[in-house]
A and B are shown apart, each in its own frame.
Chain A
């Protein structure tokens, strides 16, 4: 693994639980949209913690661009609470990578493609969509973005602008817990919803990519297969567990806040 000390240049709050961190890399590298990097934290006693995060920025034309990572805060985590609560602009953080040779997509891989992102699972799709826009590709892409509340729709303004450009990208939003009025689908995405999207595509879908928490990915993948999509064209990337106790703790933590 190639490690380097990257410098935080900017921190942006995207939602109550997600912040984007921008890094300047002393040794720039190229990457494929969908790849991730490792963040490694080291304590004075030598203890290390490392986690991987999908890159949200586009590879860019050169390699000197800032790297953007959208990091969700998990209260019982080690790296994300540090990043949210302690890390500041100008801090040096060790970055390794890029890694991941599976959950990648570029316009030259062809389409139409269906992306399904849950919450901060939208990050790798941002890299893919930004790259697609940067090279002025018209490969058809649909992004289904599911979030809990309106405020959890990361990158919504940018995604809306991309969708309005009429270049073959469209955005479908589903909000699962939003009580306020909104123009999106209310509730979880299901087989019928996915079947409707796939049915409206002008050509057969070539690739489906699903990213999010494990339960989200499991539900979305099952819905996609039930909508008649060949499991062989579905790629997934997931985080978290099925463990019921962990889910209960997470929800209890969320209620406390």
Chain B
């Protein structure tokens, strides 16, 4: 239905090749989280890779920073309809985490865990082959706490709630478990180009 009197905002439509359906471009960086911002000191930080309930390997901050660091500049898309172009991140590719742990992905499903208890599910195939990283820096600086610092998952080709803030682990699961927002009305997969925002989209 065309809305009476609505012409749209100049500029957004020009970007349509780059902008998924229903999104608009922002210059700032909105913050949306379900709870208070956790303050995690890097000296207390650790990251654990698990296969089911079995821990495969853990890293402290120094060890994790010693892994190969990769830069990734990507457009990001929030389910609340804002998109931000050319966000520059640096961190450790999931491929390099697996390489350092000396394993191949044991299952097709991965669950990301965060310090605040947040979880999200991502198919393993969407995390490997250079598609995703655990980011440690944003625009050349440590990630601010309200944007997920010290470490956040970056899966830029899916809606941004999949890029879990304050990440402290990845866990391979036998089946596709649902995470925090996926249990609360949001889509299991979350592809912005197919506008998979809500459970039945």
Contact = CB atoms under 8 A, between A and B. Distances in A.
A38 to B, nearest CB: 9
Interface residues of A, number: 45
Nearest to A104: B184
B37 interface: yes
Contacts of B31: 214, 238, 240-242
Contacts of B7: 43-44
B36 A47 contact: no
B140 interface: no
Interface stretch (A18-26, A89-97, A172-180, A188-196): A89-97
Given A42-B1, A47-B13, A99 B198 contact: yes
B198 A78 contact: no
Contact of A241 (B22, B28, B81): B28
A242 B138 CA distance: 14
Interface string B33-67: 11111100000000000000000000000000000
Contact of B27 (A43, A45, A246): A246
Contact of B21 (A1, A48, A87, A225): A48
Interface string A232-243: 101110111111
Contacts, number: 122
A188 B164 CA distance: 31
> Most chain-B Cβ atoms within 10 A of its Cβ — which of A52, A99, A224?
A99
Classify chain B's interface size.
35 or more
| Main DSSP-derived SS at the B contact region | loop
B111 to A, nearest CB: 18
Interface in B13-35: 13, 16, 21-22, 24, 26-35
A100 interface: yes
Contact of A239 (B4, B6, B30, B37): B30
B101 interface: no
A43 B6 contact: yes
Nearest to B7: A43
Contacts of A241: 26, 28-31
B102 interface: no
B1 A44 contact: no
Nearest to A44: B2
A50 B35 contact: no
A47 B16 CA distance: 9
A93 B4 CA distance: 9
B200 A42 contact: no
B197 interface: yes
A23 to B, nearest CB: 14
A102 B6 contact: no
A103 B185 CA distance: 12
A82 B33 contact: no
Contact of A86 (B2, B6, B9, B28): B6
Contact of B36 (A48, A103, A234): A234
A16 interface: no
A51 interface: yes
A100 B198 CA distance: 10
Given A231-B116, A238-B33, 17 more contacts: A42-B1, A42-B2, A43-B2, A48-B21, A49-B9, A51-B81, A78-B9, A82-B5, A87-B5, A94-B1, A99-B198, A231-B35, A231-B38, A234-B35, A236-B33, A242-B31, A243-B29
7 contacts: A101-B183, A102-B180, A234-B35, A236-B35, A240-B28, A241-B30, A242-B144
